[in-house]
A and B are shown apart, each in its own frame.
Chain A
Amino acid sequence: MTKEQLTGAELVIRGLEYLNVSTVFGVPGGAILPAYDPLYDSPIRHILARHEQGAGHMAEGYAQATGELGVVIATSGPGATNLITPLANALMDSTPLLAITGQVASTAIGNDAFQEAYTVGLSMAATKHNYLITDASEISQVLKEAKFIATTGRPGPVLVDIPKDILNQVAAWVEPGDLDLPGYKPTTEPNPKMVQQASSLIKKSKKPILYVGGGIIHSKANNELFELATKFNIPVVTTLMGRGAFPDGHELCLEMPGMHGNYTATTSIQNADLLIAIGVRFDDRVTANPSFFAQNAKVIHADIDPAEIGKVRDAEVPIVGDAKSVIKGLIEALGDEKLDTENWVSELKEMKTEFPLSYKQEDKGPLKVPYVLEELQKLTKEEAIVVAGVGQHQMWVSQHWNFTEPNTWLNSGGLGTMGYALPAAIGAKTAYPDKLVLALDGDGCFQMTCQELITASTENIPIKIVVFNNGNHGMVRQWQKIFYNSKFSASELTHDTPDYLKLAESMGAVGLRMMEKSDIEKVFNKMLEINDRPVLVDCIVDPDDMVFPMVPAGGSNDQIIMNEEDLKNL
């Protein structure tokens, strides 16, 4: 029997279907046009974004909410260059992403053809791996490899660049075979000797801290983590990327440490005698100046990426492996051991009471983001997927929202990409149409990708967006206030341009406004009631509010600025 002959474009779509891809985000264009023809007839849902950056963040939101591969399609040249930001973002936050880009015809490559960019070169440092297809017969195998690389080990983005003539070339559909990747063999099972050494350190520790992050969420190890922490009575700090890996509100949960972490979480690390670091990378936003970080602690560092171990901080016990396997191993090795951590746990409990997160919301005063957030969470009955941009509002959400489940908190942690929230929320809502998806954004962030509100309306993706509108780049303003003598250079936006209600309406969404305390309940209830369209709430907040606690970049985590008063002693 002769094999079925397909065009390269058909092979791409068939390949995606074969890999169980159900949704793709993208923007068409010249070089990728052949692929859009069979896509039209495919059961795969295509979400037409208004900008490739938006499409990329949508795919990231989809992937972060589901823990599965997100797929984005763009054309050559500017289509591909617009994807660089989401690719770099996905690389930093270890999000499994597959990007398929059109390329000019292989005969034109190198000739500066119309809409030609050196996509493989440009994306090399922004992807885990990338490919340039040179023959249509490679397509199915490369797509399978790409998905495998993107979703295994430390997940990340993979780009496949396909010249237009290859998309038109006819080749046989061949089911992809076994993968031949001699240089790619992630270690998932930890070395038992290392696990044993780690458990001996844990047994001796009186002040251990479980310092956990995104790795727990990628490895779906939250149940195992819960068992490890509760069985052996070990307090847990969850990093920005690890929020939800261990439930807030649990007495062992200290929540977020670091630059804007709460006092107890940050200080617990400083006072610990042992850090059990799992799926974290000792990011500078956590450690501040690493020479002052956890000076009294020994370190067990487990990560699936060997390059993270010893990169910032040497570990007494390095463990390469998947978080889930590592934690299971630790639980087994610790057996029925009773750790002597009672004093430590109660010491931290007292610290929590003594140094809570604080803010002051006056009855008639301007709205404070933390207050609005807490009220919003009270009004949402169900578990929401919460998506943030980058800056003050992001820190406040991470601080004040109660996260109890993994994959319910999406944000741009590593790269700090403003404009992430709205498109990522669209991606998450596409994956879970029945869940409440909240984009909690800043006005500066929102304006960077706000055209994607049109995507949400036209594709019928009824997300809810709260724009915390302080008329400023709030975090920039905060730094200028503290470090640049309140010289507010280029940080001022405006409260009223655009008019967010008109903007929402013109883009097919409902716009609501919230200005004072008495508006909150009414406006949020209205927002929660509307489910046939996206809703945007223009929430006017205090431009002078600052995020505390704060440890200045490069400072020591022993010197935490708790409030504006402390700034005077700087």
Chain B
Amino acid sequence: MSERILSVLVEDKPGVLARVSSTISRRGFNINSLSVGPTNIEGRSKMTIVTELDAVEQVKKQLNKLVNVIKIVELDPNMTIETEVLLLKVSINKDSQTSVIEKASLSNATSVDVGQDFAIFELTGSSKELDKFEALMKPFGIIEMVRGGRIALQSNL
């Protein structure tokens, strides 16, 4: 099933994230990713919700009923710039060090911290690129990893 990306403009008021997520779970819909942050307009935040569902119309309508939700746009995947951020802490030792750094650099990941036996990389990119990087690092031993929510903008708007 293909993914759907909703860009949701909301009032920046307390509880708005709870209202949105509660509506989604209340109606039994699953989401793959949700991110929220400020916009260039004062008092407005934007949520990017990635979901895999046929019932995207219902989600849109139910979210639209929330008083604090101003506008919902479903982004066209073909015309959308989408990105996600990852921080990954991987084990290194004398033998693996070179290989890890080489692979990270080829993946366009930036090293943000290096210790005796670990390195932390940061990578921004599409979800697929992030998945790929994770797979590349796995054999070396991932100690900890965190991925931020996916954010998106339609390029022709």
Contacts and interface: CB of A to CB of B under 8 A. Distances in A.
B18 A121 contact: yes
Contacts, number: 39
Given A120-B15, A124-B22, A311-B58, A305 B67 contact: no
B18 A306 contact: no
Interface stretch (A69-77, A178-186, A335-343): A178-186
A356 interface: no
Interface in B1-37: 10-11, 14-15, 18-19, 22, 26
Contacts of B65: 128, 305, 307
Contacts of A310: 57-58
Contacts of A129: 66-67
A184 B67 contact: yes
B64 A306 contact: yes
B61 interface: yes
A183 B62 contact: no
A129 B66 CA distance: 7
A182 B69 CA distance: 8
A277 to B, nearest CB: 17
Contacts of A181: 67
A461 interface: no
A181 B11 CA distance: 9
Interface residues of A, number: 17
B61 A306 contact: yes
A132 interface: yes
Contacts of A120: 15
* Interface-central residue, B18, B64, B65, B68, by most chain A CB under 10 Å: B65
A175 B132 CA distance: 60
A125 interface: yes
Contact of A183 (B58, B61, B70): B70
A100 B116 CA distance: 60
A182 B18 contact: no
Contacts of B61: 306-307, 311
Nearest to B68: A183
B62 A307 contact: yes
Interface string B47-76: 000000000011001101111111100000
A149 interface: yes
A121 B70 CA distance: 21
Nearest to B58: A311
Given A121-B18, A124-B18, A124-B19, A183 B69 contact: yes
Contacts of B11: 182-183
A97 to B, nearest CB: 15
Given A124-B22, A306-B61, A310-B57, A132 B67 contact: no
Contact of B26 (A125, A128, A306, A307): A125
Given A149-B67, A305-B65, A306-B61, A183 B19 contact: no
B45 to A, nearest CB: 12
A129 B23 CA distance: 12
A140 B64 CA distance: 26
A307 B64 contact: yes
Contacts of B22: 124-125
A382 B90 CA distance: 82
Interface in A143-197: 149, 181-184
Contact of B10 (A125, A132, A183, A311): A183
Given A124-B18, A132-B14, A310-B57, A183 B26 contact: no
Contacts of B64: 306-307
A184 B62 CA distance: 13
Contacts of B15: 120, 124, 132
A268 B39 CA distance: 53
Nearest to B11: A183
Nearest to A129: B67
A182 B16 CA distance: 14
A181 B71 CA distance: 12
Interface in B66-91: 66-71
B119 to A, nearest CB: 39
B59 to A, nearest CB: 10
A471 B157 CA distance: 67
* Interface-central residue, A132, A182, A306, A310, by most chain B CB under 10 Å: A182
B18 A307 contact: no
Contacts of B18: 121, 124
Nearest to A130: B15
Contacts of B10: 183
Nearest to B43: A182
B70 A307 contact: no
6 contacts: A129-B67, A183-B67, A183-B70, A305-B65, A306-B61, A307-B58
What 5 A-B pairs are tightest by C-beta distance, nearest first? Answer: A307-B61, A183-B70, A129-B67, A184-B67, A182-B70
Given A128-B65, A307-B61, 4 more contacts: A149-B67, A183-B66, A305-B65, A307-B65
